[in-house]
Structure 1
Amino acid sequence: MQHEHPAVVLCLSANGIGVVRSLRRKGISVYAYDIKERYQLGRTRHAVCGICPHPTYNQEELLTFLIRLGESLGKKAVLYAASDDFVYFISKFRESLSGLYSFLLPDHTLIEAVLDKRLTYELARKHNIPCPKTYIINHEDQLESLSNELTFPCILKPVFSDDYRKRLNKKAIIIEKAETLQQEYRIYRQYGELLIQELIPGNEDQLYGVGAFFDEKMNLIGLFTSKKLQQFPPYFGSASLMLSTREETSTELGIAFLEELQFKGFGKLEFKKDPRDGVMKFLEINARTWLSHSLSTACGVNICYLYYLSMTGQDPQPITNQKEGIKWVYLVRDFLSFRQKEKNGEMTFWEWIKNLSGKREYALFTWDDPMPFFRITFNHLYNAWKSRREQRKRTGKR
């Protein structure tokens, strides 16, 4: 295999760090960039790292930055986006970037649809994909009439989840009863647009992920499936503990949905099995590498490398089988989730340790590149301590 083309990775979160490592260990030259805050935490010795303009607030500056970078590299670089804001930026400026970078995304209308949860659920219903009942809120006046239709508890969910989580670090807000719906809506609406969704009961281990890479001709080149064991924040959040496993119903449903959509490039879907009727229900879709994708590499499906080979015209052989039973852990996030569950009387220390047992792949820690782990771990612990201190001040507790 030929590796003369460099790779450029945008976003130095755990997701982006995983992309960098998977490519560098194949001997590929990697350049990685992010805004200042994430760069300071996630810079890694496996890439030439730097600060770039913000993909949402400084788009013209970022475009100029990437054009100059591409011109300086000598060879056409393979471009990766490890966060939604970078995905949208690349999609929006795909014509300007395509001369200097190789990348593959679905049509821009699909990118907009997967980033806007209202459009996402319209797509699912159009293609007869089972999903939770979802209510679009255009005016606050709708809430009173909706209260008679809703089953409580239900959830408030951000329309644009990536931006919302940066503001509030919440993926969903549980509404326990009709009497609090309007009040809770007013509180959380200030952080971004919201929709209301049916709450599917069941634990986190009923959440299944289907990750895939389709090439330009919609050939399935890489496939990896897993299930969540724990999330951060608990109950509604991103994975902190994952297990490599094949679940056929979600796999068949997810691949068929991606094929119908002509979803080229990376696609990651999440489903939850509803214990009330046994139906696997669609929750979300992303057009990028996903947080726990390094687990796929540990299980024999290096989906980032397959993408590189495809983007450089090397026609990789599809890999759709995986090792099962390997866990992926984002240790500091999993610890913080455990602490919250312990506080709620839902998990003991020994139960948490048991969950971590077995063969593991770590989200951040490696012996040859330990510093991102220490910087990001300290940042999470500091933010958790600061949040508890502020809460104690508000409540008057010591």
Structure 2
Amino acid sequence: MKHEHCAVVLDLSANGVGIIRSLSKKGIKVYAFDTERAYKIGRSRLATCDICPNPLTQENELLTLLINLSQSIGKKPVLYAGSDDYIVFISKNRKELSKYFLFLLPDHSLIEEVLDKEKAYELALKHNIASPKTYIVENEDHFEEAIANLDFPCILKPVLGHEFRKNINKKAILINDLDQLKADYQTYREYGKLLIQEIIPGDDNCFYKVATFYDDNMKLMALFSLQKNHQFPAEFGTGAHIISKRVPELFDICLPFFEEIGLKGIGMAEFKKDPRDGVYKFIEINPRFWLTHSLTEPSGINFVYMYYLYLTKQNPEPIFYQIDGVKWIYLVRYYLTFLQKRKRKEMSFIDFYKGFQGKKEFALFSWNDPMPFIRSTCSHLVNAWKQQRKE
């Protein structure tokens, strides 16, 4: 295979670092960028890393930086995005960026739709995808309707999660009773539109994800699924301990759905299996590389490299077979989740230890590129200590 085109990665979280490492193994030159705080933690020795303007507040400056970079390189680089902010930025500026970079995204209208929780749930319902009971509260009548139809506890979620988390670093807020709902709704509504949603019962291992890679013509190039074992924070968080697992029932749900809406490029949908009725309930869609994508490589389907090969016109063969049972571990988050669950007597040290057995991929830990792991671990532990002091 030819690797004449370099790659540009926008994101230096564990997601972006995973992309960098996958490409560097193939000998591909990588440039990586993120805003200052993320850059300080995630910069990798395997890429040329630097600080970039904020994609939300400095759009023109970021566009200029990327165009100048591409012009200095020569051949169009392959462009990767590891967060919603960057995928929205690329999509909004796709006409100009496509002159200088290689990338594949669905229509901008679809990206806006799936990143908006309200529109995403409406889209799922339109296509007969089972979803949790969800209420958008825009006035007093909507609030009363939600109260009348929801049981407590429930959750309060931002409609635009990637914007909400710039102010409040939470995916969702657990609501235990009506008084808390009224108080927290007033507190958090200033940071963006909110929805109220029922809690689907079940442990972390009831969460599943399906990931796809469709080409320009909506031909399926890659297919992968996984199951969560643990997430961080333990109640409502992102993956901390994941395992590759083929889930054919979810393929039957997702593939027709993705094809009907035209989710070309990289896409991922998350579901939670409801133990009350055994039905997979829709949680969200991401039109980009997702946090745990580095699990695909040891599981036999290298999404990052396939994307590169396709965009550089090297005609990769579709891959649908995956190796099951491979674990993905975000070490510091797995440890902090263990501490939380041990307090509640939901997890023992033996359970924690067994989580390391078998074939595994670490989110950040690497002897070949240790600093992102060290800096991220220190940051997580300091934040956990500060949170404990508040409590």
* Corresponding residue of 1:305: 305
The amino acid that maps onto 1:107 is D
Match of 1:75 in 2: 75
Q: What is the CA–CA distance in structure 1 between the aligned matches of 2:196 and 2:133, rounded to whole Å? A: 8
Deviation at 1:140, TM superposition (A): 5.0
Report the Cα distance in structure 1 between the residues aligned to 2:201 and 2:182, rounded to whole angstroms: 23
Secondary structure at 1:101 match in 2: coil
For residue 146 of structure 1, report the CA deviation from its aligned partner.
2.5
The 1-side partners of 2:388 and 2:210 are apart by: 35
SS, match of residue 162 in structure 1: helix
Once the 2 structures are TM-superposed, how far is the Cα of residue 141 of structure 1 from its aligned partner?
Answer: 5.5
**How far did 1:334 drift?**
1.0
CA contact (8 A) 1:267 1:288 kept: yes
Q: Is the 8 A contact 1:270 1:285 kept in 2?
A: yes
State whether structure 2 residue 157 is matched by structure 1 residue 157.
yes
Structure 1 counterpart of 2:137? 137
- Normalised TM-score (structure 1): 0.96
**Residue 167 (structure 1) shift:** 2.4
Superposed CA deviations along residues 113-151 of structure 1, whole A, max 9, x for unmatched, are 111101101110111111111111113563234211212
What's the RMSD between the two structures over aligned residues? Answer: 1.2
User: 1:68-124 CA distances to partner (integer Å, 9 max, x unpaired)?
Assistant: 111111110100000000000000000010000010100000110111101101110
Assess if the C-alpha contact under 8 Å between 1:214 and 1:222 holds in 2: yes
Matches within 5 A, 1:223-262: 223-262=223-262
1:153–1:174: 8 Å Cα contact kept in structure 2? Answer: yes
> 65-74 vs 146-155, which deviates more?
146-155
In structure 2, the partner of 1:205 is: 205
Give 1:258 shift.
0.8
The alignment covers a number of residue pairs equal to: 391
Q: In structure 2, give the amino acid aligned to 1:142.
A: H
Residue number in structure 2 paired with 1:61? 61
Question: Does 2:186 correspond to 1:186?
Answer: yes
8 Å CA contact 2:146–2:196 kept in 1: the answer is no
Aligned partners of 1:143 and 1:181 also within 8 Å: no
Deviates more, 1:110-119 or 1:183-192: 183-192
Match of 2:339 in 1: 339
Paired residue for 1:28? 28
CA distance in 2, matches of 1:47, 1:85: 21
- Any idea what SS the aligned residue of 1:325 has? coil
The separation in 2 between residues aligned to 1:274 and 1:126, in whole angstroms, is 20
Query: Would the aligned equivalents of 2:135 and 2:195 in 1 still touch at CA under 8 Å?
Result: yes
Q: 1:178: how far off?
A: 2.8
- Greater alpha carbon shift after TM alignment, 348-357 vs 289-298: 348-357
TM-score with structure 2 length normalisation? 0.97
Query: Which secondary structure state, in structure 2, belongs to the residue aligned with residue 276 of structure 1?
Result: coil
Distance in 1 between the 2:177 and 2:189 partners?
Answer: 18
Match of 2:271 in 1: 271
Distance, in Å, in 2 between the alignment partners of 1:108 and 1:313 is 23
When structure 1 is superposed on structure 2, of 169-178 and 256-265 the one drifting more is 169-178
Query: Hey, what's the Cα distance between the residues in 2 that align with 1:166 and 1:247?
Result: 34
Moved more, 343-352 or 284-293: 343-352
Give runs of aligned pairs for residues 240-389 of structure 1, distance below 5 A. Answer: 240-389=240-389
Give the 3-state SS of the residue equivalent to 1:174 in structure 2.
strand
4+ long deviations beyond 6 Å: none
Q: Separation in 1 of the partners of 2:127 and 2:185? A: 30
1:242 and 1:352 map into 2 onto residues whose CA distance is 13
Question: Could you say which residue in structure 2 is the equivalent of 1:146?
Answer: 146
SS of 2:319's equivalent?
coil
CA distance in 1, matches of 2:184, 2:343: 23
Q: By how many angstroms is 1:202 displaced?
A: 0.6
Q: Distance in 2 between matches of 1:145 and 1:297?
A: 46
Displacement of 1:339: 1.2
- Equivalent position SS for 2:191: coil
The alignment partner of 1:146 has SS state of: helix
Cα offset, 1:163, TM superposition: 2.4
More deviation, 32-41/146-155: 146-155
Alpha-carbon contact 1:170-1:233 (below 8 Å) kept: no
Q: Which residue of 2 aligns with 1:395?
A: none
SS at match of 1:246: coil
Corresponding position: 1:2 with 2:26: no
**What displacement does 1:313 show?**
1.0
SS of equivalent to 1:230: strand
The residue that corresponds to 2:95 in the other structure is: 95
Shift of 1:228: 0.2
Which region of structure 1 is more displaced relative to structure 2, 142-151 or 267-276?
A: 142-151
Letter in 2 for 1:349: F
Task: State percent identity of aligned pairs.
Answer: 54
What is residue 168 of structure 1 aligned with on the other side? Answer: 168
Contact 2:134 2:197 in 1 (8 A): yes
CA distance in structure 2 between the aligned counterparts of 1:293 and 1:78, rounded to whole angstroms = 17
Q: Secondary structure at the match of 2:106?
A: coil
Q: Which runs of 5+ in 2 are unaligned?
A: none
Tell me how far apart the structure 2 counterparts of residues 356 and 194 of structure 1 sit (CA, whole Å): 38
Mapped pair 1:104 → 2:127: no
- Which digits, 9 at most, give the CA deviation of each residue in 1:210-259, with x for residues without a partner? 01110101111111110000001112110000001111111221122111
Deviation at 1:354, TM superposition (A): 2.1
State the secondary structure of the residue aligned to 2:114: helix
Tell me the CA shift for residue 276 of structure 1. Answer: 1.1
Question: 2:267 touches 2:287 (CA, 8 Å); kept in 1?
Answer: yes
